[in-house]
Structure 1
């Protein structure tokens, strides 16, 4: 997190998480033996967890596999996470999704996890859509040209649009609720179009393209500078500062821990049905106010919680929670790390990495 690498020296660190990931994915790795993976978005939250678990599995199982990681700024990533960027099986490739020189050689697997942030200004929205679609097409072309057998595209639960009042969960086959004329919908529309491009490309070229729709997450590698609630609450808990909730606290989310996320993504890549999207997240709802209270309870510190928004009874709370029954029934996936345990692990890792009052 921040400019620090996750601590991996004892049982209160990521070491236990990596063992858990390997244990739950152990039968799946054989197809990666001698393989070569191309990964976009390797320096982000998804990418770091994928790299952590790839390096661990590769070393423990002696797979002889390699990964090429596309990064806009490899030198910055090396400073932030030297144990990932400098691992022997990792090759850093400088470039962005639109302008990168494809590396030589074949690839057996590709994970396209790069993603632009949501925006609100029309000019930024146009750029986001263009980058998402052109970048996805470039990655798909690379997969076809280099003979990749399987490709995973990390999409987002944002593709469903705003959740209709009264609904509890969002399912993969549920109708979307789009707001196509608003700039803030650009991220959702870009992801939705990219999914369609992936599906069409897979049908045309016979490639196994898997789609993972991510929801909300927490854990090591989540940037403390993020605007996301989980990041802000963790930052406040580490620094002993008041936890600030800008809204009324009734917003409902659910959070999957990073190690669980890695298990889900590898399982979907290796076992998921091509062209069949899978929601990725927890189905255990929690209000933002309760999430803040959970951070205070786990931190065991007298932290103040300030809720700045006023409750409007005529406005229903915003709900964004996935239905994960498809992943459960088809792939045997589940929420393996309870929310409180995920917060505890995040706090322990943050303190070990030097985050806190002096960070």
Structure 2
């Protein structure tokens, strides 16, 4: 059984997403990707809100493997070719995406196939199940490489060598071309931190937190000026719920923190918060072009009133406290 999320985070999600949550009363929600980092946060938050606000939600989660949960109906299948359930649904949250292991360990053709054909199948399903709203979790990777933060009007130029980025780009195009009755909402997700974040994979902040929590020196290997930003997962859920219910259709929203931090400063921050030592690369590449993966989130603030409620120090400490 997975360790539950912090109760104060779940309470804060209900407080700040009460309006969209109440609009989901009696909703029947079909979810893909429910066992991943984002999906886990979404589902546990919805279950908590269901109990606290008496929403009478019905959650069905598509999964390749058999799972059981007293408050969730699991439907076994592959997102690319699952047999459509006979039930009707009011909402779909398409959070399904290839696993990090598949994405980063040499199976590019599978990555693209899962994203694009999974999107195709979900759009077909939305037309048959009666869903009025569909939230697609895209990625900031659709923008490609940039040296400054990007907003939603930035030209999309995904890395041609990244099947993940190309898949998300083509999946967005499919959403834009969709002519059915379901309102398609698009969230371009950037980087996050919080409980359940994989600590031993390709996420710098996860690697640093793992080093600190196991008493190791925090090591930065890349000398280039790399900038990232990290939104705490509870804020992420609040934003996604608002976009699902109140976001404009076919009108992408960046989801993440707009506060950029260099990877070197991030390592120093985690070290300071934990009393750990930090090892920096000898050949600091300050003359190299900056690599930004940071969103401009003014649209989310302007149109939906969304803000960050957790600063990075809080996010790191809350994650460390949860894994202890």
Aligned to 1:198: 175
The superposition leaves residues 24-53 of structure 1 with CA deviations (integer Å, 9 ceiling, x where unpaired) of: 111222332221101111111110110111
Range that drifts further, 265-274 or 249-258: 249-258
Aligned to 1:18: 10
Task: Say if 1:246 and 1:309, in contact at 8 Å, map to a contact too.
Answer: no
The superposition leaves residues 158-192 of structure 1 with CA deviations (integer Å, 9 ceiling, x where unpaired) of: 000111x4xx3101111133443x3xx21111101
Q: Distance in 2 between matches of 1:135 and 1:97?
A: 5
Task: Say if 2:150 and 2:296, in contact at 8 Å, map to a contact too.
Answer: yes
CA RMSD of aligned residues (A): 1.7
Range that drifts further, 314-323 or 186-195: 314-323
Distance apart, 1:146 and its partner CA: 0.6
The superposition leaves residues 205-239 of structure 1 with CA deviations (integer Å, 9 ceiling, x where unpaired) of: 13210000011100001022322111111111111
Q: Distance in 1 between matches of 2:286 and 2:317?
A: 34
> Is residue 109 of structure 1 aligned with residue 91 of structure 2?
yes
Structure 1 residues 144 and 113, CA gap change in structure 2 (3 angstroms): same
> Is residue 170 of structure 1 aligned with residue 150 of structure 2?
yes
Structure 1 residues 343 and 205, CA gap change in structure 2 (3 angstroms): same
For 2:270, which of 295, 319, 324 is the aligned residue?
Answer: 295
Range that drifts further, 326-335 or 97-106: 97-106
Distance apart, 1:95 and its partner CA: 2.1
Task: Say if 2:136 and 2:187, in contact at 8 Å, map to a contact too.
Answer: yes
Aligned to 1:31: 23
Which runs of no fewer than 5 residues in structure 1 stay unpaired? 9-13, 76-84, 352-359
Structure 1 residues 344 and 249, CA gap change in structure 2 (3 angstroms): farther
Aligned to 2:195: 220
Structure 1 residues 321 and 296, CA gap change in structure 2 (3 angstroms): same
Secondary structure at 1:213 match in 2: strand
Task: Say if 1:245 and 1:309, in contact at 8 Å, map to a contact too.
Answer: no
Task: Say if 1:218 and 1:257, in contact at 8 Å, map to a contact too.
Answer: yes
Secondary structure at 2:44 match in 1: helix
Task: Say if 1:252 and 1:285, in contact at 8 Å, map to a contact too.
Answer: yes
Aligned to 1:356: none
For 1:95, which of 77, 82, 86 is the aligned residue?
Answer: 77
Q: Distance in 2 between matches of 1:341 and 1:108?
A: 36
Aligned to 2:219: 244
Q: Within 5 Å, which residues of 2 pair with 1:267-286?
A: 267-286=242-261
Q: TM-score, normalised by structure 1?
A: 0.85
> Is residue 54 of structure 1 aligned with residue 37 of structure 2?
no
Structure 1 residues 272 and 24, CA gap change in structure 2 (3 angstroms): same
Q: Distance in 1 between matches of 2:78 and 2:187?
A: 22
Task: Say if 1:249 and 1:309, in contact at 8 Å, map to a contact too.
Answer: no
Q: Distance in 2 between matches of 1:179 and 1:157?
A: 11
Q: Distance in 2 between matches of 1:4 and 1:64?
A: 24
Task: Say if 2:132 and 2:181, in contact at 8 Å, map to a contact too.
Answer: no
Aligned to 2:284: 311
Q: Distance in 2 between matches of 1:61 and 1:285?
A: 36
Distance apart, 1:103 and its partner CA: 2.5
For 2:238, which of 259, 263, 278 is the aligned residue?
Answer: 263
Range that drifts further, 205-214 or 254-263: 205-214
Range that drifts further, 18-27 or 124-133: 124-133
Which runs of no fewer than 5 residues in structure 2 stay unpaired? none
| Count of residue pairs brought into register by the alignment | 321
> Is residue 231 of structure 1 aligned with residue 202 of structure 2?
no
Q: Distance in 2 between matches of 1:309 and 1:55?
A: 48
